[in-house]
Chains A and B, each alone.
Chain A
Amino acid sequence: MITVTINGKEIKLEKAVTVLEAARSAGIKIPTLCWHEQLEKYGGCRLCLVEVEKMPRLQTACTLMVADGMIIRTETDTIAEVRRGVLEFLLINHPLDCPYCDKAGECELQDLVEKYGLTKGRFREQKRKVPEALEDPVLVRNMERCIVCTRCVRMCEGVQGASAISVINRGGHSHIEPFSGGRFDCEYCGNCVSVCPVGAIMSRLHRHSYRPWQLGSETKTVCPYCGVGCTVVVQVRDDIIKRVVPKLGTVVNNGLLCSRGRFGYEFVGNKERLTTPLIRKNGLLEPSTWEEAIRLIASRLSEIKDKHGSNAIAGIASPRCTNEDNYVFQKFMRVAVGTNNIDSTARTGFAGAQGFIENIFGQGATGNIISGLANSDAVFVIGGDPTTINPILGLQIRACSRRGGNILTVGHMKGLRYYTPLELRPSVNTEIALLEGIVSALMKKKGPPGSHPVLEARLKDLNAQEADLPRICGIQGKDFSRFIDTLAEAATPSFVIGKDMIQSKGGSYGLFLVSAINYIVNGRIYLLSERANEQGLLDMGCAPDLFPGYRPITYPEFRKRYENAWKTGLPDKPGLTIFEMMEAAKAGALKCIYVMGENPVFNLPHTKDVEAGLKNLSFLVVQDIFLTETAKMADVVLPALSWAEKDGTFTNMERRIQLVKKAVHREGMEDWKILSEISSNMGVRMNYSDAEEIFGEICRVSPLHRDLNYEEIEKGDAIYPYKGEPLRGSTDEIHIEKSAGREERGKLYLRVERPLFHSGTLSRKAPALVNICPEAVARISPATAAALSLKDGDIVRASSKTGALELPVAVDEAIDDSAVMLSNNFQGKGAFSLMEYEIDPVTKAPCLDSNQIILEKVNR
């Protein structure tokens, strides 16, 4: 126990902390500028100077550690004088911009000057003049206002790990500059903006459009983009979102955001938003009324049901909609329509992979706490770059490395390249052999743990051994041994699995092998998730074979429970997966698809096929916020409310249920509301008054959510199974499909790029994100570029069996020589349009890794 006296108040402390922390714990405020709770100590601004008895000089409270018996004074006349002096120094070169500086009102410097009341200016010389730097799409730098506290630099380097900016020059010429010169060209997380105490680095999105005190409301909610589920605070003026900021102290992202979360909100107010229902008349989508649209849908659905049976209708749910929306959606499909034909784009990887892994290790096996990654001593990454797919999770991996943990990657992960990864980069389509090699090497080194006989039985017949790897995968023995040694020695390893792993030939076998590795070294698994409520939609039973809470529909006993709860009989046969729906539509067996908040034409591979299927339907309903590629083909389009305009819950990849709250007002209906209206029109009454009531029902029917409510969720720790309902155990059978991809050297394969600045088709409606990353490019390696005589910016025709696109190339050292990377975000330029697939029979996910692609230069 350490006892210190601050301002006469005795404070007892468990462990040595800084004087600043000790003071704060006792409610004593010491002014600070360079200190920030997320950042390493700096001690530069000198504002926190305090008097400490027996110490000759004043001491900075933010750096000095307390010692037993220390007597400290934080507010004396001398100290007030000193602080005034420091503030005067900060002001001599500081412009008097307050009247039009966007920071005014929440500027730490302004607040302190106000508190310590500076007298008149004594500085008679010219102030430093630096023009505002406006080269950048989302950030603006005003270095006249910079007080060189280096908070931004320490954030960018020590937390974000981008190391994009630094203090340039020395002394009075010090200022902050991106290493790339005028433009930041960085990860655009904006976390530097969050920590800048003054108006020196700010967001450009709301420039000069409001003052902080003019905010109408601040709403704490969840980011709409990815499965990390960061807490965001949406700040609104006149029903327009002015700013989205993180909040310190929140469990998932503690004051940090990524580019999408921070700058991607403008889709909400986008002029292209759908405003009224549209009905196809004479081949054209014409504006109509809600009444007409709802009546039409209800009668068409009933008609098809009567004529072709319930199973001629299918529904596609949305990983961007709330749990409540998705719950009502599946209930609508099962009860009002009477089918289990319910699925979503989670089928492209997440759903099958999660099911597969849970089947081996038990339910919940992939839902681990994201911040735990930082405490792992090794993180194994495969199948995608977590720093772009789930950026805030990526930061935890960087933090792990900073704390001395090892990063192990299969394939090159660009966002981890400065974190000294041990990297194994197998040649094209040979990951499976490599994983087999890893399993057999680990088995030799560590032996079978003996606790999972079913899994171990499956390990008997591995094809590739360590000795084969140089030949098959082109991996050197010494790199491999280092990798294996590190993995074998890890005490708390984590495994991060991305979609590329799942979407490869033999994906289920690959997943099995990664699971086996995880089992041998006793790790935990993280499954990357690209959509905000991908987990929640599965929890809600938006799957052809599962009820809410993962109860299999084929078990009569469970079916009974839901029949009782919903007071109706339920179909007992599993429905179609999203891919089977497309097949059935093409074959004419399926007549109608109801799409809620999804864009299958763009978000499913083999666009032409999807289009052909949808064209073949007799009735297509799309409920969305934009007129997407899919909506354009619909018979009826219904405008929905977006994430910012409704209440509900999202469940993130950790299985943490969080409240989504209405931040802006907009005319219209929530997805669940639209569905209940249609349902009622079909004679199945749904009378929910609000999302909370729906959630009440969810908690009654889903064993995972039992006893939960919005109040509990608000506290932030609502991770299901809430209150420890036991989860399903592991199985005694593991199905795998061994087909491995064939390697053809010298050919180029198309790979899906999952960029940091975009996410599906939502982000292209956010101008800031489009400004950062405006167009689709085909990324190729320098060797590919050389072989094809291409240089950056050249236009190529990229063609595959399913189509061709023209687009510019970018030469990127991070790309494998056999790969062409193309994102699936930009209209008409999506990678999926060039891809065919086969379905993995076990995970039901598409295998996309065998798509060869040819690049030809287009001369203009």
Chain B
Amino acid sequence: MERVLLKNIENPESADINEYKKAGGYKGLPKALGMQPREIIDEVKKAGLRGRGGAGFPVAMKWTFASADPKFPKYLLCNADEGEPGTFKDRPILEKNPHILIEGMAISGYALGAEYGYVYLRGEYPGAKDVLNRAIAQAYEQGFLGDNIGGKGVRFHLAVHQGAGAYICGEETALIESLEGDKGQPRIKPPFPVNVGVFSKPTVVNNVETLSNLPYLIEIGGEAYSKIGSPDCPGPKIYCVSGHVERPGVYELPMGTSLKDIIYDHCGGMKAGRKLKAVIPGGISTPVLPPDKIDCPMDFVNMPKHGSMLGSGAVIVMDESVCLVKVCFRALKFFEHESCGKCTPCREGTGWLRKILGRIEHGEGVDGDIELLLSVAGNILGKTFCPLGDGAASVVQNFIKHFRPEFEEHIRAGKCMVNG
């Protein structure tokens, strides 16, 4: 398949508007402006586009809600917080192909009736900030943003807002709080952002990759788009692969490419021919899979049937040299650090899990610690305010589910079977 989202990125000047145009960019926007907003949403619906931020929510549905709300003005927020460990799929778009995002946002804004957009950018992407700001300035210059886009009187203004490094600010309502200048913590839903979002106005939050699909989708039409990749969940998808493979990196492939193919074909297989031990398929929050469970199509519909989730499409590949207790411990350290503190189970439970894992990892585990881990994780799962806490609990549950002997060995021997 020809690349759509990461088209032209080998070109060192790919972030420049003229290069983007030379490569066929800014074709979708004029076409969209010739359509009624409603027609655009219909195309997106026909295309079956789902959000790429992790939850796979149908884009057209979210847009319909927001455009049906009479309150004004409306806002379009691009979630570029990309904080899920292992995830670096949005970064190449932001740094190498920013105009596809800007074009996508202008189309989306028009479809929604939103005149203002913000890119909420991960604090640790200072490079992307400069690239984006330059690209936005160019788009204003050439009339793709502003008060009179394409000479059609359409308004869409875009600005970049940089986060300050909290993972929770990737959660859409925490993102909104943070954008408003408050502490990043998720809000009660309902009301949903589509009705009461930023500055209490109807707001759509979509991921960078999601929005970047729009120019192409409009250009070829929803019908044609829906033929790409998985029939249940179509479109191009960026997978970012890290860990012990020969060629880690970013791969734009049809949605539904099998995990096994990603590792063994596209990434050239395991590094130095070592044995695969575990794969986290969609970012740290998604359930880890053992080697015998990786023959699964990587999309939002099929991954749950195979015991995991697509998440952000961040594939973390681990070979035998890895101690999974340590990985689990490290993951919980992350969750503890990033827990926003709003709800009790996550605020207190993630730290507790980390402490228990820490003592197991450091050879100080005691009998019953595994049961304690499962019990504490069980007291978190399903009781938290937002999915972050659930993620933490399920990491523990899934690591123990698939790799329990390794935990037991740590406790029994007081040391690691992998690293001695």
Known A-B contacts A89-B349, A92-B348; A171 and B379 likewise in contact (beta carbons under 8 Å): no
Q: Does B352 contact A (CB under 8 A)?
A: yes
Contact with A along B138-156 (1 / 0, CB 8 A): 0000000000000000000
Per the bound structure, the CA–CA distance linking A90 and B346 in Å amounts to 11
Per the bound structure, the CA–CA distance linking A174 and B342 in Å amounts to 9
- CB of A41 to closest CB in B, whole Å: 6
How many pairs, one residue from A and one from B, have CB atoms within 8 Å of each other in the complex?
Answer: 87
Q: Please determine whether B339 and A171 come into contact, CB atoms closer than 8 angstroms.
A: yes
Per the bound structure, the CA–CA distance linking A123 and B373 in Å amounts to 11
Q: Please determine whether B343 and A167 come into contact, CB atoms closer than 8 angstroms.
A: no
Q: Does A669 contact B (CB under 8 A)?
A: no
Chain B residue numbers with a CB within 8 Å of A169 are 341
Per the bound structure, the CA–CA distance linking A172 and B347 in Å amounts to 5
Known A-B contacts A46-B385, A49-B383, A92-B352; A171 and B344 likewise in contact (beta carbons under 8 Å): no
Chain B residue numbers with a CB within 8 Å of A65 are 190
Q: Does A170 contact B (CB under 8 A)?
A: yes
What are 22 A-B pairs with beta-carbon distances under 8 A? A41-B188, A46-B384, A49-B383, A58-B382, A82-B379, A88-B379, A89-B348, A89-B349, A89-B352, A122-B375, A125-B352, A148-B341, A148-B347, A167-B341, A170-B166, A170-B338, A170-B340, A171-B336, A171-B337, A171-B350, A173-B341, A174-B347
Task: Give the number of residues in A that approach B within 8 Å (Cβ atoms).
Answer: 33
Q: Out of A82, A122, A171, which one reaches B372, CB within 8 Å? A: A122
- CB of A715 to closest CB in B, whole Å: 37
Q: Please determine whether B339 and A46 come into contact, CB atoms closer than 8 angstroms.
A: no
Chain B residue numbers with a CB within 8 Å of A122 are 372, 375
New contact pairs (14) apart from A46-B383, A172-B350, CB-CB < 8 Å: A42-B342, A43-B343, A43-B385, A46-B344, A47-B344, A85-B378, A86-B344, A86-B379, A86-B383, A89-B349, A147-B344, A148-B344, A170-B338, A173-B341
Per the bound structure, the CA–CA distance linking A65 and B378 in Å amounts to 26
Say what secondary structure dominates the interface of chain A: loop
Chain B residue numbers with a CB within 8 Å of A57 are 382
With a 10 A CB-CB cut-off, give which of A43, A89, A92 has the most chain B CB atoms. A89
Per the bound structure, the CA–CA distance linking A41 and B385 in Å amounts to 13
List chain B positions with a Cβ less than 8 A from chain A: 166, 183, 188, 190, 336-352, 355, 372, 375, 378-379, 382-385
Known A-B contacts A171-B338, A172-B336, A172-B339; A44 and B382 likewise in contact (beta carbons under 8 Å): no
Which residue of B is nearest A150, CB measured? B342
- CB of A145 to closest CB in B, whole Å: 14
Which residue of A is nearest B186, CB measured? A43
Which residue of B is nearest A57, CB measured? B382
Q: Please determine whether A170 and B339 come into contact, CB atoms closer than 8 angstroms.
A: yes
- CB of B364 to closest CB in A, whole Å: 10
Q: Please determine whether B188 and A43 come into contact, CB atoms closer than 8 angstroms.
A: yes
Chain B residue numbers with a CB within 8 Å of A814 are none
Per the bound structure, the CA–CA distance linking A735 and B135 in Å amounts to 71
List chain A positions with a Cβ less than 8 A from chain B: 41-47, 49, 57-58, 63, 65, 82, 85-86, 88-90, 92-93, 122-123, 125, 147-148, 166-167, 169-174
Q: Please determine whether A123 and B352 come into contact, CB atoms closer than 8 angstroms.
A: yes
Which residue of A is nearest B390, CB measured? A57
Per the bound structure, the CA–CA distance linking A169 and B183 in Å amounts to 10
Which residue of B is nearest A41, CB measured? B188
Chain A residue numbers with a CB within 8 Å of B336 are 171-172
Known A-B contacts A85-B383, A171-B336, A171-B351; A44 and B345 likewise in contact (beta carbons under 8 Å): no
Which residue of B is nearest A82, CB measured? B383
Known A-B contacts A41-B188, A82-B379; A171 and B340 likewise in contact (beta carbons under 8 Å): yes
Q: Out of A42, A63, A89, which one reaches B379, CB within 8 Å? A: A89
Ordered nearest first, which 5 A-B pairs have the shortest CB separation? Answer: A85-B379, A174-B341, A171-B339, A89-B348, A172-B351
Per the bound structure, the CA–CA distance linking A41 and B190 in Å amounts to 12
Q: Please determine whether A45 and B383 come into contact, CB atoms closer than 8 angstroms.
A: no
Q: Please determine whether B343 and A93 come into contact, CB atoms closer than 8 angstroms.
A: no
Chain A residue numbers with a CB within 8 Å of B349 are 89
Q: Please determine whether B341 and A172 come into contact, CB atoms closer than 8 angstroms.
A: yes
Chain A residue numbers with a CB within 8 Å of B385 are 43-44, 46
Q: Please determine whether A125 and B355 come into contact, CB atoms closer than 8 angstroms.
A: yes
